[in-house]
Each structure stands twice: as C-alpha cells, then as structure tokens.
C-alpha cells in the first residue's frame, strides 16, 4: 500500500464503516408522547427557564436537594429511637466539650475528643492546640460529628438521600468553620502580625484576580514554566492523523528495537491527555516508550457549541476504531495493546466488547486504569446524579451545546471542599500565598468541555441506568456483553479514589471471564496512576485470575493480598512484555504533515 493510498484510507474509514453498518445511538431511544412534548413551544420555555436556573446554581438541581431534605426529615420524624439516639449524642458531645474546656481553663493539656477527617488540612497549624482556638475547633468538629450521625442511614430512607443530605450539611457547616474567619484563625492572626497586614493586601489582590476570571469565564493559561511541548507533554512524537474529534500521536522510539505489537492509549475526554505525559520524570508515556514499545495516544478535541450533536458512538467510531485503522496502516498485521484511563477506559471496554462480539481480533490485550464498567457503586459522584439532576444538566447543555469547565470542576472540588475550596481560599485570600503551580495542578486547571448529546448519553445510559453491565447497552443496534472479551486484561485501581472507587473498579472481575491481573495501588484517581519508579512511599497489591476462575469479593481479596513496596509500573511492563511479540526494528513514522507532538487539539482553550 502506498503512503498516498494509506492516508486516503484513513480519511475514508469512518465513512466506510458507516456504509457497512447503520449507525445507531449507544443508548437506544424510546419514542413516546414525551418526545412530542419536547418539541412543543411550552417545553422549550420550560427548558429555557431550567437552563437559566442551572446557570445560577452551578448545574445543581434545587429539586433534587429539596427532595433529599424532605425524605430525610419525614423519616427522622417517624423514628423516635433515632431521635433519642441523637439527643444522647448531643448530650455526650456537649459533656466532652465541657470537660475539654475545663481542662484547658485549669491549665491542663487535655486530649482532644474530636479529630478532623483525613483530607481536612485546615487545622494543621499549631495554634489550633492553644486556647481559645482549640475549643472553637472542637466545637465545630463536635457539631460536624452530630450532623454526620443525624444524616446516616435510616430504615426506609433512600441511601442516596441520606448521603446527599449529609453532603449538603458538610457544605453548609464548612461555610461557618472558625478557620474561615481572620479573628478566629490563629494562623491568619500570626501571619498578619508578622507581615504587618501585607498578607491581607496580597490576598485582596488574589481575590480580585480570581473574581475577574470567574465573572468573565476567562480560561487561565498554562504558565510559561509549564509550557506544553516544552516542559509538559514533551515526549517527542508526530501527529499521524487528525479528524474533527481527535488527533492521533505516534511517539518516537527511544530504543534500537521495539516490541512488535504497539500500544494505544485512550485518555478521558473530560480532561486533556497529558496527565499521562507530564514532566519528563513522571511521564507515563515517556517511560513506556523507554521500555521498548511503539506508543500511540489519542488527543481529544476540546468541543464547542458547534459539536453539540457529537454522540458517545462518535467517540467510539471516530476515536478508538479510527485509531486502530490508522495503526493498522502504520504497523500492518500487528495486534494492539489498548490502554484506557478513566472515562477512556470505560469507552475502551465498550469498544472491546463490541469488537469481541463482531469477531474483530485486532486487540492483543486491554488495560483499564481507574476505569469503571459498573456504576452501581460509583462513589460520591452519585450524589450529583438522579433523574432530576440529569434532566437539569440536559437543559443546561441544551441551551449552550456543551457542559462547561466550571460546571464540572465545581462538582469535583465540592467532594473535597474542606481542602480544595476552603483551605485554598484561606491560604490565597487571608495568608496572601500565591498559587505555586505543579505539573499536575496545571493539568487540573486545563479543563475541557463535553458535547451535550454525548454527555447526556453517558450520564443516562452508562452512569444513571448502568446499562453496560445490565446487558442493555447497544452498539449498532445490538447489545454488548463484557464477558465476550477474551483477551488478557490488566486492571488498575487506586486506594483513595473518590471518582472511581477501587471496589467499583474491582467489579470488572465480576462481569468478565478472561485472564485478568488486578492491581490496587496507593494514591488517588490521578496520583495513584502517576506512580513512577522511585516515587517515595508507594506500594501496591497485585493478583492474577486465570480465565474462568470463580469470583472473589473485594474485601476477601484485600485481606488475602499484602501490599508490596514500590511502583506498579514495572509490574505492568513485565505483564505487557509477556503479552507482546518479538523485538523488531521500530516502524517507520509516516510523514502526515500534521505537526509534532503534542499536536494542536491539546492547545485549544
């Protein structure tokens, strides 16, 4: 095949695929009178009103929150036993506080009866151990403890409503934390005294700058010291293909020989791909190239209003399937090791199941990193999702064509508000400390948008209705089954992941029958994946399950596997090598004329 022919085939392959098989939505529509209602002018008025309200509430449905409060209040009102229990807890907390205050008044160092949560860094200053600050801190934590008990599970109360009510109360309590007030926070008082108030002047400037960016919705640019292509996303490579949805990057080899089977990385579209190609010392892609692999990576476009009708199926066809077509041209006859991260892993699992169903054998293995296929236990993000909330977001996206950055990042920050919102606000606005960016913080702030149709299909079909594992997710008019995947799988979960909880990721083993290696590593959704060799204080657990073996629950699995020190990356490299072919000369990199890595899509604001 000539180079010219090869390029032409790449450009035509999505259309050719559409000619071969009808393109049907992944979430099959059900026609009803409600569909006709959606076209009525009154319905348009309703959606416009809801979209306006959604902009004011940050995309959070007031009805969903009021429903949670009503459900909780009615069940608590008819539970005299729980009421007595809460009265006793209030009494006990008050006595603990009184005893602690008495010890402090008499000059004794009493043990604090209440301790902050794992992620709560607001109380790290030593001043919180001195009166009266220690008593104020303990009073706040005692109140927080009582509300946590008050919003815990109650017979007959929907679990989601209990968790949602507790979440709301945590947010409300955080607004009145003594750490937020200059005269009640010993760290602010000390900093103001030492700097003669300079910290407050600097903080006011930081606040004015942040307020301007929020009001104008201005995207904060990547700092020059973290320039993309120079410091971050700097692994050498070429853009070998581009369509209206993604760029495909092929990375230059760094070894004289490479494994015959290439690797395709499918990142999440909710953020930019270079989380896997950060600084040279912790770049997952650079490290993988150094292990002797030919690496390709998808870089998703940052969509705008004109891309509102892009579907989840478009991301599969124009993303993963198109990338496999291109790789097949560059490395003819070689099967591909596919690696999906976060939502990219979910999409990869869908694509792999569809390929297995259709006897498409181009995959050599599948690796899923912090990616879920079942969403029944999807963690704290479920707090933001029910029918009311999804409809609310759909109206918001209907009006603007996409889900914007602040409407997504706010939800993630609220889950860890004590650290990601309030601690940062105190440091920046009262202590006057500038945000000193790190490579991962630069990536976190470099957010993207999501097309309205695709995100709606994802929220409803994948997240809310959990169709993948329920046998109700259709590709090209026919349902898929994860158990059809026969290639070896490597699944990675992280211990403190609040986006893809590890027990939810572990359930991949429940819905597949293939040969599978499972790793549980220290860290969160991002930091656990970025666990390069040499990173201090890292550990992981690993297990192997042969094809067809019986399922073992996550708690039994955890008890049976001891942590091992170090990074999980070498384990994956050894596994990947065992699944790969012989060493060969690196494949030629086509001259597509599309520019060098990291490409143009990653630079889109």
Catalytic residue IDs: 342
- Between the CA atoms of 592, 594, 598 and 601, what dihedral angle is there, to the nearest 10 degrees? -130
Using DSSP's 3-state secondary structure scheme, residue 8 falls into helix
CB 294 within 8 A of CB 586: yes
Contact of 303 with 450, CB cutoff 8 Å: yes
Tell me the two tokens of residue 205: 């400037």
Q: Is 388 helix (H, G, I), strand (E, B) or coil?
A: helix
User: Any idea which residue has 């429903």 for tokens?
Assistant: 67
Question: Smallest Cα–Cα separation from 389: which of 152, 50, 96?
Answer: 50
The alpha helices in 277-321, defined as continuous H runs, are 284-290, 312-315
DSSP 384: G
78, exposed or middle or buried, with CB in 10 Å at 0-12, 13-18, 19+? exposed
**Which tokens hold the place of 85?**
């229990």
170: Cβ–Cβ under 8 A, 6 or more apart, which residues? Answer: 144, 147, 417, 418
Assess contact for 377 and 50: CB atoms under 8 A.
Answer: no
Tokens of 103: 């010890």
Distance CA 502, CA 528 (A): 11
Q: For residue 601, what are the CA distances in angstroms to 220, 303, 326, 595?
A: 17, 10, 18, 11
Task: Indicate the Cα dihedral angle 142, 143, 149, 151, nearest 10°.
Answer: -160
């Amino acid at each position: 095949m000539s180079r010219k022919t090869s390029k032409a085939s790449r450009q035509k392959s999505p259309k050719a695929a559409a000619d071969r098989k009808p393109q049907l939505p992944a979430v099959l529509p059900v026609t009803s009178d409600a569909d006709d209602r959606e076209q009525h002018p009154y319905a348009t008025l309703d959606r416009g009103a809801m979209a306006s309200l959604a902009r004011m509430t940050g995309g959070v449905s007031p009805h969903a929150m009021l429903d949670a409060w009503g459900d909780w209040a009615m069940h608590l009102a008819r539970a005299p036993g729980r009421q007595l229990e809460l009265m006793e807890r209030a009494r006990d907390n008050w006595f603990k506080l009184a005893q602690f205050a008495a010890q402090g008044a008499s000059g004794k160092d009493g043990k604090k009866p209440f301790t902050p949560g794992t992620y709560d860094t607001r109380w790290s200053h030593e001043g919180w151990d001195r009166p009266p600050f220690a008593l104020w801190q303990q009073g706040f934590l005692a109140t927080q403890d009582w509300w946590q008990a008050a919003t815990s599970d109650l017979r007959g109360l929907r679990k989601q409503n209990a968790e949602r009510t507790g979440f709301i109360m945590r947010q409300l309590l955080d607004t009145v934390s003594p750490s937020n007030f200059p005269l009640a926070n010993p760290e602010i008082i000390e900093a103001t005294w030492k700097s003669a108030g300079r910290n407050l002047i600097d903080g006011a400037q930081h606040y004015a700058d942040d307020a301007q960016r929020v009001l104008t919705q201005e995207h904060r640019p990547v700092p020059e010291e973290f320039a993309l292509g120079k410091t971050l996303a700097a692994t050498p490579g070429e853009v070998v293909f581009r369509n209206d949805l993604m760029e495909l990057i092929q990375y230059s080899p760094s070894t004289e020989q490479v494994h015959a089977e290439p690797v395709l990385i499918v990142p999440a579209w909710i953020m930019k791909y270079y989380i896997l190609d950060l600084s040279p010392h912790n770049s997952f892609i650079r490290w993988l190239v150094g292990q002797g692999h030919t690496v390709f990576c998808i870089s998703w476009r940052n969509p705008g209003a004109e891309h509102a009708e892009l579907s989840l199926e478009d991301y599969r066809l124009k993303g993963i399937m198109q990338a496999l077509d291109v790789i097949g041209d560059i490395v003819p006859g070689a099967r591909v090791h596919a690696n999906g991260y976060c939502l990219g892993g979910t999409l990869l699992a869908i694509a792999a199941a569809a390929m297995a169903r259709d006897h498409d054998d181009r995959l050599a293995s599948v690796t899923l990193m912090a990616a879920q296929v079942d969403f029944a236990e999807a963690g704290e993000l479920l707090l933001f999702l029910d029918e009311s909330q999804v409809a609310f977001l759909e109206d918001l996206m209907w009006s603007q064509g996409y889900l914007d950055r602040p409407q997504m990042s706010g939800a993630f920050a609220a889950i860890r508000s004590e650290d990601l919102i309030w601690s940062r606000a105190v440091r920046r606005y009262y202590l006057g400390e500038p945000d000193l960016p790190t490579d991962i913080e630069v990536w976190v702030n470099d957010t993207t948008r999501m097309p309205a149709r695709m995100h709606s299909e994802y929220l409803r079909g994948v997240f809310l209705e959990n169709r993948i594992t329920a046998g109700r997710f259709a590709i090209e008019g026919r349902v898929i089954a994860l158990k059809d995947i026969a290639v070896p799988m490597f699944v990675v979960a992280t211990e403190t992941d609040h986006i893809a909880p590890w027990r939810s990721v572990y359930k991949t083993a429940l819905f597949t029958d293939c040969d599978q290696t499972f790793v549980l590593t220290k860290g969160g959704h991002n930091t656990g994946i970025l666990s390069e060799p040499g990173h201090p204080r890292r550990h992981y657990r690993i297990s192997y399950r042969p094809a067809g073996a019986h399922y073992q629950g996550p708690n039994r699995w955890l008890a049976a596997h001891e942590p091992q020190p170090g990074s999980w990356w070498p384990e994956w490299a050894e596994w990947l090598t065992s699944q790969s072919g012989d060493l060969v000369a690196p494949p030629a990199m086509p001259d597509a004329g599309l520019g060098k890595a990291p490409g143009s899509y990653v630079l889109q604001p």
